[in-house]
Amino acid sequence: MWRFLLRKALGHAVLWLVAASLVYLLACLALDPRGNYAAQQPAPPEDVVDATLQEYNLNDKDPLAQRYAVWISGVLRGDLGQSWDGAEVTEEVMRRVGVSLRLLTLGFVVGVASGALTAIAATLRPDGWFDRLSGVGAMVLLSVPAVVVALSLENVALWFNATTGAEVFRFTGEFRPDLEGAARFLDRVQHLVLPTLTVALPVAALLARYQRGLLADAAESEYVRGARGRGLTHRRALVRHALRVALLPLFTFAGLTLAGLFTGVVFAETVFGWHGVGAYLIDSISSGDVNSVAAVGCLTAAAVVLVSFAGDMAHGALDPRIREN
């Protein structure tokens, strides 16, 4: 098993390097930090702009390979560079990453858990009302953009608060700074519900349909039919024999959804006023800030790689064939 994990770790490390490098190169080709200086009144002299951009490794007149070599050497040392106005990208990202990490982690856990439970419940009674309803709900959620989900949840919250006459849901910022103790904790929960649902619902819909198909295939396998022939009910045969096998691909698939999950985080932070990495990415793109966009790409790629590796570890723990290697 250790050889299996070592091979996976090396493969994921290479994958992270390739993904992070592609994000940086695409950002260099698509974004124009020089435009920030041209928009100033009065505009600085061109030689001053060139010197400033060169200091921050953002000068588009320098060869792309040279800029990449400087950038990647800094990233490997933990230095994500500077933004077009001289701010340290590493400090800004570290200040914001905790905000996004709370939302991303909770949304991921809620989405994966609810998606798996929905699939199991639908499989226990195939073609029942819950199976049909969950299928329709999943298709609707997968067809609707994340920003529409966020705005719809906000409208539902406004209606619910107005109907009940109580501020049950809060959706601007993370918390009220004037509260302390239990009141502050409750306030955080109230602010967290809607952004978490924005992130979790599309993930739950995708995983529910994926896992439903895996469980349906496992239900028709020979070992499940054999278990039912020995007297087990359909429910017991699925839970005891099919569920473990069908859950193995879920870990890998759940890790792959994390990149798409970040899109939901970006829209959730924008709609609900969270100052996390997602909002930072939007601001960085609008200002043509290459190093900041690349830094967010590095973090996203690292998160996907780490979750995928965690899935490999779970796969190795559940599959006896891997443990024997």
**What's the residue count for the chain?**
325
Nearest to 62 by CA among 281, 285, 283, 290: 290
Domain count, the chain: 1
**Mean pLDDT within 256-274:** 76
Q: Is 88 helix (H, G, I), strand (E, B) or coil?
A: strand
Structure token digits, residue 3: 């050889």
What pTM was computed for the model? 0.72
Neighbours of 9 (CB within 10 A): 14
Residue 1 class from Cβ within 10 Å (0-12 exposed, 13-18 middle, 19+ buried)?
Answer: middle
pLDDT in tens, 207-247: 888 777 777 766 666 666 666 666 666 666 666 656 666 66
CATH number of the domain bearing residue 180: 1.10.3720.10
Determine what percent of the chain falls in helix, strand and coil, rounding each to the nearest 5.
80, 0, 20
Please give the Cα distance from 125 to 122 (Å, whole number). 6
Whether 38 has a pLDDT exceeding 90, the answer reads no
Domain assignment of residue 142, given as a range: 2-323
Percent above pLDDT 90 for the chain: 8
| pLDDT digit string, tens, across residues 46-56 | 888 888 888 88
